[in-house]
């Protein structure tokens, strides 16, 4: 059952990665299942997005919003957002960019290496490709990552 509330977009996130966050009220994340719920489907100003329900150092949970998502939603730090959260029914789902999907489909060893990683690592691999602005860069990243995955190497360490 979804939980709805209104929150203000704040500056925050891990110190190594300043970003935009929404602090989730305690009652909301507890109603979603408490500490057992790691991923949610968040509807932000009417737009659905799969997000991680991340722990705060001081306790509680928050959502981290990418700059691109905030721009798409038309929101900035200090503005209020209407949102609804529900536990993600498929928390390991990864939306693959076309270039990566094609590279993995063409290389069974790479696909097996990709599937051997956790959902969080698979999302990071997909994001690396999807975040590239130019099509040739996305294709190059997809091939490089597929090669590393096929060899059983770490996807983000060229020498491993």
Does residue 159 form part of some domain? Answer: no
How many angstroms separate the CA atoms of 107 and 114, rounded? Answer: 11
Residues 128 and 59 in one domain: no
The model's pTM is 0.71
Residues 83 and 19 in one domain: yes
- Residue by residue, pLDDT tens for the chain (160 residues) are 789 999 999 988 666 666 899 999 999 989 988 888 889 999 998 899 999 899 888 888 999 998 888 988 999 999 999 999 999 988 888 889 999 999 999 999 999 999 999 888 998 999 899 888 999 999 999 999 999 999 999 988 876 5
Nearest to 99 by CA among 67, 68, 72, 133: 133
How many angstroms separate the CA atoms of 92 and 105, rounded? Answer: 19
| Residue 143 structure tokens | 């091939």
Residues 59 and 116 in one domain: no
Query: Which one-letter DSSP state was computed for residue 56?
Result: P
Cα dihedral value 43, 86, 7, 17, nearest 10: -80
What is the residue range of 14's domain? 3-87
How many angstroms separate the CA atoms of 91 and 120, rounded? Answer: 10
Does residue 157 form part of some domain? Answer: no
Pairing of strands 61-65, 80-87: unpaired
Domain final position from 33, 58, 87? 87
Residues 143 and 109 in one domain: yes
Q: Are 29 and 35 in contact (CB under 8 A)?
A: no
* Beta-bridge mates of residue 86: 41
């Amino acid at each position: 059952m979804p939980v709805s509330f209104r929150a203000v977009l704040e500056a925050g996130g891990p110190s190594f990665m300043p970003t935009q966050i929404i602090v989730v009220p305690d009652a909301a994340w507890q109603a979603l299942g408490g500490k057992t719920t790691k991923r949610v489907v968040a509807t932000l100003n009417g737009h659905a997005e799969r997000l991680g329900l991340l722990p705060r150092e001081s306790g509680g949970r928050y959502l981290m919003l990418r700059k691109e998502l905030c721009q798409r939603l038309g929101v900035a730090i200090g503005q209020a957002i209407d949102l609804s959260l529900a536990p993600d029914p498929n928390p390991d789902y990864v939306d693959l960019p076309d270039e990566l999907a094609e590279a993995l489909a063409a290389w069974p060893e790479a696909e097996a290496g990709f599937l051997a990683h956790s959902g969080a690592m698979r999302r990071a691999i997909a994001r690396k490709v999807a975040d590239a602005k130019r099509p040739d860069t996305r294709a190059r990243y997809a091939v490089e990552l597929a090669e590393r995955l096929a060899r059983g190497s770490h996807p983000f360490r060229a020498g491993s």
